[in-house]
Structure 1
């Protein structure tokens, strides 16, 4: 059965860093100090060091990577402990930092998704839905529920692909600052902001009449959009999970369509929209970026928590570490969330603008996510599609497995239970088994199972989660999996559970939000993190925000880090 948290804490001594970062305090003066060795902080460091800047990266944990990290929690099992699949990493970042040369290998997730059902879902008795790159196979799988939906799905994917492609240039360019455009009286300042608006104008021109479809997707509930396209519940629910993943919303929430679109913007191995598993776990992404940064001269330090940012006369002069040592640097980039950066790391009364701090405090960090990493002695065996006697690994383990997503109503029920301060008997579960493609993650015959579950509140009925609460929720999740794949609980060797509170305390994710703030329209583009400072700058001279709390937002994409670094270089 699964192990207690106390035993796992003892075994956490076996966790290993995947990079050659140094422990201790940097010496000397730097041009730039980066707070946090999450992937965006490392990307920013690589670009700055490549431009000739003397850069140090300061990470409070013993391991680099932030939320993109590989840790050995159970001996012999390596977990992508927080983020767990890759797609959004920008091709420009991959190319500029030569990440493949630094060892980054990605296995394409195909089939993309597998949804087993508790009850047969149609008159034909179909018990599961499989979606992937084999279009004929996907068509047959959907047609078992609805021949009409099978034909519609082709057109649906084409439209989503067009809309996602139209938005992609916005991910690689800084947003224009609408606040500055409207408030500035100088023609030069207005012209600068209008120049930055060119990607937005080109997007609108490219879409033409389809701009209305994009507007609907950005503002309407996902359920309304999917109801217009499809009639079969398993298909709608499978697609709807991407519209709520990591977000405290339901498919019925207006604007949930953007989260759906956000998750089809990327691609891996030159396949648009595809997702993949990283060889060695997500820490290998951070390791490759860190090695690129180090090759350019950046210095990376672990076990170096920052106490506060030094501010003199409204400008940064470096940072002070928790041990009292100081790092001098006229430029500081924070990879922390906006709340941590502006409320926790700055000296009291250092922000000159009360309105700015009020805007920061209004950012929504609500998170429904509890991540459970599980070591198992054997593959789960789904009733809908039993494993072959030969012991071979069926390919439905190569994608994301959706459980308790038989219908959109199941998703909404789980959401409503969380809104009442608790969790449903059948939480939404996204299961991935990366060891089905990467045998470096687990002992032979055993596997790593990653469970991304929601909806769970940060405070359970208004109180902190106790160990008993965590064990009870883990049992609830395992029991649900047993309903689909009997014997799963008995195969568990060990597990590690991270509630929203744990995600905040372990990884610095305010509220447990994996995106550094909700991905709703009121917190995107020129509204992220605030309308006045959407361009990575801040009211403090020399202080920049390079994490996912800045444009274009969350996911392992590296875009905020790259774009912030370019703004720093533009200012220097």
Structure 2
């Protein structure tokens, strides 16, 4: 894959002329034709726009909502409280993209969290019967001391466990920044440098060689239930349950489900401020990530337009010709990138007769099940946990800065919550990841007040007996969540100023996430790498010439990562260059 942007820029300027001026790119008018149209201003679509525009390609991004960002969005639902309405933490975003797009120059600022995880207990426990919580962070000595409260054996094993996970992550990491190899019956043909650039082949072979050295560990993490892996390493439940939350977060899985081991792995692949596995808050909320990317794209000449809903993608004789907005406006382009889910892209925006029956059938079988209801809460004071009481009424304790795990001190609690959802009921004791970004970021709430973000599961898309997710049902579930927190932090319910409740149907209808799935499709082994979203669509291109997928439904998958957008952009640039050379 070519990485010389100046070379790309010179090449495309020779064809298209100089890039659009900054002033023109900020104009709200729509031109009748662009080199590239991107459907959806989620972070991946914006990443694609920035890379393409930097290379001299004239890009227009069309967003149906009034605000950019997709799931990486900040919204002031309650006056003076800025919610990261869907995604809420940063870690997986590729460092190279931050550097390539100079995102810190364009406003990206991150608060690194330490400690990173806090699990309060309902009742004191541990070896002395008096331990009230488990806190984990970046300091190995601190972690060892915390875990030793529950198990001396576990305190010695934890660092080794992290080393093994890091080793497997290092095996997979080269694949995150490369278009996937498409494996055919002929492996030699699959690895042919004629079909793929040499660096892609080398990345694939490098990952294979690394995993070959410890193939059993790699295979187990990719396929086994997380609890099987954790049981082998640890004996203390608060530790196992805390780690198990990463194996199910955002996925309709239990720690006992095959494949949950990979979801656990996916959530430790990140890097922030040069620290592997670190997570942090973005100043101004997650929408600031999208805004920084958009600022870069616009600064180089792209148009990023809101309130522009694409109704369909125009296709003639198997080739993309542009898009039609819901207003009836037609915009021409021979290249369209879709940041929407595969379902929306190919089943909603493309006419039925443009795809084969077999492909349509495969697309309908993609798994979008989601367990997530996101609840955003404005409170007038910081929560006060019984396990570690506040030293003063308004003080920020170290655990307030972390991910706080509620109903997570035993893996059985997680499994029972999952079982509720398998009968189309929401969980009576939901698994809750609670974060308080205002503990570090003072720009998102009034002084003394706080933003509390609750990532909760399990809530099925469709409830039993035809019950609807109406306002009453949503509030009933939210009350169960609030009651759960109240047991750990009395006074929480009285502190609530207002809330925003997003069930799976809400995440689908408002944010555009099919099934409410935050990953644009399950992160299961059958929907990863050369099978993401399908084996025939795994290199971002589609059977329709000029139509590309650039969202999280493409490799390497979900999370605020940016790789799908970048890799789709580079695929477009390679195809444009090849087309130009042929002429």
Range into which the TM-score falls when normalised by the shorter chain = over 0.9
Match of 2:183 in 1: 178
What's 1:388 paired with? Answer: 391
Structure 2 runs not aligned, ≥5 long: 1-23, 577-583
Choose the corresponding residue for 1:155, options 153, 160, 171.
160
Distance 1:477 1:214 in 2: 36
Q: Distance in 2 between matches of 1:153 and 1:277?
A: 25
* 1:86/1:275 contact within 8 Å kept: yes
For 1:360 and 1:163, the matched residues in 2 are separated by 31
Which residue of structure 2 lines up, in the alignment, with residue 87 of structure 1?
91
Write the distance in 1 (CA, Å) between the matches of 2:237 and 2:571: 46
Instruction: Tell me the distance in 2 between the aligned counterparts of 1:90 and 1:484.
Output: 36
* Aligned with residue 60 of structure 2, among 53, 56, 75: 56
Deviates most, 24-33 or 100-109 = 24-33
The CA distance in 2 between the partners of 1:337 and 1:271, in whole Å, is 31
**Contact 1:222–1:257 (CA under 8 A) maintained in structure 2:** yes
Give the match's secondary structure for 1:443: coil
CA–CA distance in structure 2, aligned partners of residues 497 and 403 of structure 1: 18
Aligned-pair CA distance for 1:196: 3.7
Which residue of structure 1 aligns with residue 456 of structure 2? 453
What is the CA distance between 1:188 and its match in structure 2? 6.3
C-alpha distance after superposition, 1:65-93 (max 9, x if no partner): 00000000111100000000000100111
CA distance in 2, matches of 1:538, 1:410: 43
Secondary structure at the aligned position of 2:534 is classed as coil
RMSD: 1.8
Q: What residue ranges of structure 1 are gaps of 5+ in the alignment?
A: 1-19
Work out which of the residue numbers 558, 563, 566 in structure 2 matches 1:559: 563
Cα distance in 1 between the residues matched to 2:339 and 2:91:
20
The aligned counterpart of 2:71 is 67
Q: 1:545 aligns with which of 545, 549, 564?
A: 549
After TM superposition, the score normalised by the length of structure 1 is 0.94
Q: Do the aligned partners of 1:39 and 1:286 also contact (CA within 8 Å) in 2?
A: yes
Q: Which residue of 2 aligns with 1:126?
A: 131
Q: CA offsets per residue over residues 219-266 of structure 1, 9 Å max, x none?
A: 110000000000000000000000000000000011111100101111
For 1:251-400, what aligned pairs fall within 5 Å after superposition? 251-351=255-355, 353-389=356-392, 391-400=394-403
What is the alpha-carbon distance in structure 1 between the residues aligned to residue 226 and residue 25 of structure 2?
A: 43
Three-state SS of the structure 1 residue aligned to 2:304 is strand
SS in 1 for 2:264: helix
Contact 2:181-2:191 within 8 A present in 1 as well:
no
Residue 176 (structure 2) pairs with residue 168 (structure 1): no
Q: Residues 48 and 249 of structure 1: is their aligned pair in 2 closer, same or farther, counting only changes over 3 Å?
A: same
Per the TM alignment, residue 25 of structure 1 is displaced from its structure 2 partner at its CA by 5.4
Equivalent residues of 1:22, 1:301 under 8 A apart: no
Given that 2:87 and 2:286 are in contact with CA atoms closer than 8 Å, whether structure 1 keeps it comes out as yes
Q: Distance in 2 between matches of 1:187 and 1:74?
A: 53
1:503 and 1:509 in contact (8 A); partners too: yes
Cα deviations by residue, 1:106-164 (Å, 9 ceiling, x for unpaired)? 11121110000111232312110000012222111110011110111011111111111
2:513 is aligned to: 509
Q: Count how many residue pairs are aligned between Structure 1 and Structure 2.
A: 551
What is the aligned counterpart of 1:135 among 122, 140, 161?
140
**CA 1:219 to 1:491, structure 2 compared with 1: closer, same or farther past 3 Å?**
same
- Cα deviation, residue 286, structure 1: 0.2
Conserved in 2, the CA contact under 8 Å of 1:46 and 1:293?
yes
Aligned mates of 1:71, 1:424 — CA distance in 2: 27
Out of 217, 240, 244, the position equivalent to 2:244 is: 240
Asked if residue 465 in structure 1 is aligned to residue 469 in structure 2, the reply is yes
1:189 Cα shift? 7.7
Structure 1 Cα separation of the partners of residues 160 and 396 of structure 2:
32
Offset from partner CA, 1:308-349 (integer Å, 9 cap, x none): 000011000100000000111100000000000000001231
Q: Secondary structure at the match of 1:389?
A: coil
> Residues 336-372 of structure 1: CA distance to partner in whole angstroms, max 9, x if unpaired?
0000000000123122x22211111110000000000
**TM-score normalised by length of structure 2:** 0.92
- Aligned match of 1:44: 48
